[in-house]
Structure 1
Amino acid sequence: MTHSTKSWLLALAGATMLLATPALANETIRIGAPLPLTGPLSPEGLKQQRGYDLWAETVNAAGGVTAGDTTYDVEIVYVDYESQTPRAVQTAERLITADDVNFLFAPFGSGAAKAASSVAERYQIPMVAATASSVEVYDQGYQYLFGTFTPNNTLTDPLARIVADSGEDISTVAIYARNDLFPLAIAKEMEKSAGDNGIEVISFDEYAIGTMDHASAMTLLMRSKPDWIFATGYINDLILIRRQMADLGIEPKALTMLAGPAYKEFIEATGDHSNNVSSAAWWHPAVAYDGEGVFGPTSDFVTAFEAKYDATPDYAEASAAAAGVVLQLAIEDAGTIEPSAVRDALAAMDVMTFYGPVHFGENGQIDSLEPPVFQIQDGATKTIYPEEIKQADMRFGGIE
C-alpha cells in the first residue's frame, strides 16, 4: 500500500467517524395548539398564538426545557379550526393521534375548550386552557385539564361592588349577552352579582352568534332606562355594539363590556367612544409579580413582549404565555415528559409567575388570582381594582 493510499484511507476513516458521532442536539417537545386563526374569532386566536410563540422562542433561546437528564426544544404545532368548535375537537384528536404531540394547549374560549377537553381526557394528555373561565368547563371531573382563568364571578363581583358603592345612584342594570358559552355564562354571573349588591336587573337579552345589527335590540333595551348596561361578547361584537350605541346616542351612567375593552384594538376601533367603558380581565400590565419561570418578573415579560411585537400585552396574550410557563415548570418539576407525571406536577403546582400566583383547584381551574378591574380613560386603560394596583377611580357618565 502506498503512503498516499494509506493517508487517504485514514482520512476517510476519520471522516466516517465524525459522521457517525451523534450531534449534541436537544430532543423536542411537541405541543398541539388548535386555534381559530381564521373566521370571526381570529383576533382572539391570533392573540393566543402570540403568547405561545413568545414563550416558545424565549425557552428555546435560553437552552430549552430540562426534564431529568434530557433537554428539549419546544415546537408548537398549530392547526386552524376556522372558528368552528366541532372542528376544534377534530383537530385536537388529530394532533394527538397523527401529529404525536406530547401536550395540548386548549382552543380559544370556554365552549371550544370544554369540547376539546374530552379528547385530552380520553388520551390522558395534559391540556392547559389559556382562555376558558366558565365553571361549566371544569365541572366534568376531568383530571388532565388545567386552566389559567379564574371563575367568571371573580370578575363580576368586584365590578358590581364598585358600581353599587360609587354613590352615583345606580340602581338598575340591563344585560345584553352573546348566546355563547362564555359570554352567556359571565352575563348570568353578573345577574347574580348585581342582585347581591342591590342592583335590579331590569332586562336580560341575548343575541345570536354572528349578529351584525344591534340597533333594534339597543333601542328596546333603552325603553326601561337602565342606569347601567352590561354587554358581553367578543371583540368584534363589542366594537359593533359600542359604535351602534354611539350612533343612537345611548350613553348610560355606566357601561361595562366583556371581553373586548382590554384590547387596544377596541380603543382604536371605537375612538372617543371607548372612554369610560369599564371592564375586567384576568391580568393587566400594571400588575407586578416577581415570578419564577423563563420570563421572571412581570416587567421583564412586558419588555420582552413589547420588543417582539411592538405592542403592550393584554390578558389573553399574557395568559397564553403563562400557560407555557406553567407547563414548562411542571415538566421540569416532574423530571420527565411522561403525561401522567406532568399531570401530577400541574395538580400540585403552587408557584409565583409573571402572570401571578398559580395554584389549581381540585377541578383544574386556577384559584389563586385576583383579576383586575379597569376602565378606559383618556384613551388608555387604567386599573381601578384591586387597591394595590389601582391607577384611577371609576368615572361615570358618557364620553368626556
Structure 2
Amino acid sequence: MDVQRFVRAVSAVLLAPALLLGAAAIGRPPGTWGAYTSASEIKIGAVLPLTGPFVASGTYFKQGYTMAIDEVNKAGGLDVGGQKYMISLTILDDGSDATRSRSLVEKLVTDQHVNFLLGGYDTSLIEAQEVVPDQYKIPYVEGGGAASEIFKRGYKYVFGTLASIYNMGKFTMGFIAAQQAAGKLPKPISIALVWENTDHGKDYETAVLEEAQADPGAFKVVLNQAFQLNGSDFSPLLQQVKAANAQAFLSDAHLPDFITMHRQYLQAGLYHQFISYGGRGPDQKGRQALGPGADYLVAAVWWTPALKDPASQLFAQKYTQQYHQVPDWFQALSYDTARVLLLAIREANSLKGPVVRDRLSKLVMRNSLLPGGVIRFAPDGQIVAPYVMVQNTPGNTVRIIWPQKLPESRDPILPLPHAQ
C-alpha cells in the first residue's frame, strides 16, 4: 500500500471536530448511574496521555474517540429507548503519569459527572485507571491496554478491545514456524528476546518461552533480557544482543522505545534474519523517525490500513480526509472502542451503569474494523480476536504477510535484506 499516494488521493480538507467538554460541580456518590444526565446529553469521559512519552499514541486515541462520537452527533444523536441524546466528550491529560491518571478518572466521575468512561493508552496507565469503574459502577471500555494482567483482577466494569500481548507472542512464533516450514528461516532458529519490564512485556516473554519450550527443535532462546520502559540508551542491551549471535531478534517495546532502540540497533550495525518489535514497525511516527531503517521490519498488529475490506477502507479514507495522514491501529482501535460503548448503550435502552455493563458482557458487534469484523468479550472482559502479520516495504508501504488465507496476503521478504 503506497501511503503517500493514498494521502493525496483523499486529501480533501475537512474541519477537525471540536472536543465537547462536560461540566459539573457536585461530587457523585457511587451507584447514582445517569442521575446527572441532562434530558438530551450523555457524558463520556477519558483520560489520555496527551503530553509525556506516550503523547503520540494518546493523540491518536483522542482522534479515534472524537471521530466515532462526532459521527453519532452529526446523525442526530444516539437513540436510547426511543429518545435521542447528543454525546459530549471530556478528555483530560494525565501527562503519561499513572498516579495522575487514576485521580483524573475519578475526577471525571465526581466532578464532571460522566455517565461512561473510555480508557487511556498504555498498560501501566490502564492498570491505574481500572480501579475506578467498579467503585462507581460505570462501564469502562479501553483499547489501549493489552496485557492479560489487566483482566485478571476481577473487575466487572472493565472491557478491552485489544487482543492480548500473550496471544501476540504466540502469533509471532506461529508465523516464524510457518516460515521455517517454507524454508525462509532456519530450523532451529536462535532468538535474542528483549522485553519491557512491565506486565505488557512479561506477557510477550511468557508466550515466546512457552513456544520455545514446547518445540526445542524449532526455537532456541539464547538471550532473554528485560529493559526499563521509556529508556534513552539501549546500547548496553544491544551489546548483549550482539554477543548472543542470534538469528532472530524479538523485542516487545512501546512506540518511543521502539524508535530509540531500533535507531541505536542500526547505528550499531546489527543484523538478524528476522526482526520484530511486537506490534511496532508500521507506525507512521516510527517510519517518519527511522526512514528506510524501518523497511522490512515485521509486526503483529490488531489492524492495518492494508486490509481491503470495505469498513477498513472507508475508515482509512475518512480519517485521512480529516487528519491528512494514514491511520495506524491506534486510531482504528480507539474508533472501534468508542463505537462498542455507544452500541452497548443503545442496545441496553438505558443509561444505568449496571444495565449497560451487562449489555457489554453479551454484546456482539459485527461491523468492527478488526480482522474478522466481530467484537465480543470473554468472561474476563478482554476481547478474543485475530492478529495480522505485516511487513514494512520501501517507500513507506506495508504488506500483509500472514495469515495466508487473507486475500491481501503476500509472501514475506525473508531472510531480511542486509542493507536496512
> After superposition, what is the alpha-carbon deviation per residue over 1:138-192, rounded to whole angstroms, capped at 9, x for unaligned?
1112211111011223322232122233222151111111222323322332232
User: In the alignment, does 2:167 pair up with 1:147?
Assistant: no
Question: What's 2:410 paired with?
Answer: 392
User: In the alignment, does 2:139 pair up with 1:121?
Assistant: no
> After superposition, what is the alpha-carbon deviation per residue over 1:352-371, rounded to whole angstroms, capped at 9, x for unaligned?
1232201111011112x211
Greater C-alpha radius of gyration: 1
Q: Which runs of 5+ in 1 are unaligned?
A: 1-24, 291-296
User: In the alignment, does 2:178 pair up with 1:165?
Assistant: yes
User: In the alignment, does 2:374 pair up with 1:361?
Assistant: no
Question: What's 1:372 paired with?
Answer: 388
Change (3 A) 1:187 1:380: farther
Question: What's 1:235 paired with?
Answer: 255
Question: What's 2:324 paired with?
Answer: 310
- What CA distance in whole angstroms lies between the structure 1 residues aligned with 2:145 and 2:118? 11
Change (3 A) 1:313 1:196: farther
Q: Which runs of 5+ in 2 are unaligned?
A: 1-37
Change (3 A) 1:245 1:54: same
> What does 1:1-400 align with in structure 2 at a 5 Å threshold?
27-166=40-179, 167=183, 168-169=185-186, 171-197=189-215, 198-288=218-308, 297-355=311-369, 356-367=373-384, 369-378=385-394, 379-386=396-403, 387-395=405-413, 396-397=415-416, 398-399=418-419
Q: How many residues align?
A: 369
What displacement does 1:289 show? Answer: 5.1
- What fraction of aligned residue pairs are identical, expressed as a percent? 23
Amino acid of the structure 2 residue aligned with 1:276:
Y
Counterpart secondary structure, 1:354: coil
Change (3 A) 1:317 1:115: same
**Structure holding more helix per residue:** 1
Contact 2:134 2:156 in 1 (8 A): yes
Change (3 A) 1:64 1:80: same
TM-score where L is the length of structure 1:
0.88
Counterpart secondary structure, 1:353: coil
Contact 2:306 2:398 in 1 (8 A): no
- What CA distance in whole angstroms lies between the structure 1 residues aligned with 2:211 and 2:74? 45
83-92 vs 302-311, which deviates more? 302-311
Change (3 A) 1:383 1:178: same
What displacement does 1:26 show? Answer: 7.2
Higher RCO (CA-CA < 8 Å; seq separation 6+): 2
> After superposition, what is the alpha-carbon deviation per residue over 1:191-235, rounded to whole angstroms, capped at 9, x for unaligned?
323444531111111122232111221112211201100112111
Amino acid of the structure 1 residue aligned with 2:387:
P
Change (3 A) 1:149 1:124: same
Change (3 A) 1:325 1:372: same
Contact 1:26 1:73 in 2 (8 A): no
Misfit runs of 4+, over 4 Å = none
Change (3 A) 1:191 1:108: same
What displacement does 1:121 show? Answer: 0.8
Counterpart secondary structure, 2:293: helix
Counterpart secondary structure, 2:306: coil
- What CA distance in whole angstroms lies between the structure 2 residues aligned with 1:340 and 1:287? 36
What CA RMSD, in Å, does the superposition of the two structures yield over aligned residues? 1.7
- What CA distance in whole angstroms lies between the structure 2 residues aligned with 1:112 and 1:73? 29
